[in-house]
Chains A and B, each alone.
Chain A
């Protein structure tokens, strides 16, 4: 038994006396509450979210973007708002989109559900306005090959259609055929940064979970031109595109979770400090 443990037990304020189930139930209640009650928490707009929005907004008609999104279902609670909102913005513009995932095999059905469905709802035509290539195995090597010879590596789309039968793909040769890369997920952005940015000078912007957003910040604003990070950015983006969705409620839920998180850390430290003083 460590000295700290002994001190805590002598003081009668040892942490194990706080039943974990109390924290778990408190967390469940706090996370669910915002989905039933409008909490009305104000949401100031972050400059980074505005920057990301502006990058997409500045795309000229008939621009072609590579939309490489690698979020599995486990990331959706945090990131769904962002990818749906960005997809809605893209779908509202006369630009062409190539959807793919290069890191997370379970991302292809997620992209089908959360991105392709947005394009369908916006009346976009498959093969003319957007194409979905599903998951491409091979990691960084595959991404490098995509940049050098797009059609050399992708012969069919996610649904088995030949790339030659897709009108939009007729003019796609290599990375120079694209105006911008929007990447989602870690570490696929790294593949893009290393193989699309320095060699072909293609602007790269990235959608990340909150944790990864802090990490990729080291590449901003050099090889990453903008970052959309976490549940908050998704909620802000919904405000920017004037299309309220799940992200704001999700963010309120995360905010309540954070209150409990910080509260439990504070409680643990108060008990710890009091224990030390009693000793």
Chain B
């Protein structure tokens, strides 16, 4: 990778990162103005990513249609048709139009819910096959899971009022403590990664390097 394609992006990234960090901790209006503008660019870039997603999806599926890929091309054609119909109606008539709402409520809404629900069935099947008290560790996990499952519905409290206390204790103490440790380590890792990016050691975001 050439000098221009490696060092310049690293310098820009480091400068912006230092600016945003500096602005977060110190009140300096000029830094805030630049930081806010830079974050605005990030939002614009993210919006572009949606457009790139549409383009790459279209290219992939149009190729399937053009190549008459077996058992695939007609599904690809249907996908492209629906995607552009949604975009045209959504952009053209607005998201509060009855046509757009009808499309959403009669297709995306029930289909999305159906996919999620199917996972429940697979989860049931997997649970009864694999959730076994094979050893002490697995037994501990099993017992805790059953306590929490019965805690999040009123069933546990109907068995005994103490169930709520046990469930609350498990989520408030062992669970919360482990969660805090997890988040703390993630933050420490993120800081280390940030420092590596600022110093130019981490260049994974530069294509081809």
Contacts and interface: CB of A to CB of B under 8 A. Distances in A.
Given A75-B116, A109-B101, A137-B46, A144 B39 contact: yes
A172 to B, nearest CB: 15
A20 interface: yes
Contacts of B178: 218
What bracket does the count of chain B residues touching chain A fall in? Answer: 35 or more
A260 B157 CA distance: 17
Given A73-B109, A73-B113, A112-B101, A137 B132 contact: no
A217 B176 contact: yes
Contacts of A272: 132-134
B153 A251 contact: yes
Interface stretch (B58-66, B75-83, B123-131, B198-206): B123-131
Contacts of B189: none
A141 B39 contact: yes
A259 B45 CA distance: 48
Interface residues of A, number: 71
A35 interface: no
Interface string A36-80: 000001111010000000000000000000000000111111000
Given A41-B154, A265-B127, A77 B96 contact: no
B155 A258 contact: yes
Interface in B7-42: 24, 32, 35-36, 39-40, 42
| A contacts with B: majority SS | helix
B113 A77 contact: yes
A78 to B, nearest CB: 9
Interface in B80-97: 94-96
Contacts of B96: 112, 158-159
Interface string B162-202: 00100000011001111110110000000000000000000
Interface in B43-66: 43, 45-47, 49-50
B157 A137 contact: no
Contact of B171 (A42, A112, A158, A217): A217
A164 interface: no
8 smallest beta-carbon distances between A and B, as pairs: A218-B179, A74-B116, A138-B43, A264-B128, A73-B112, A141-B42, A138-B46, A145-B39
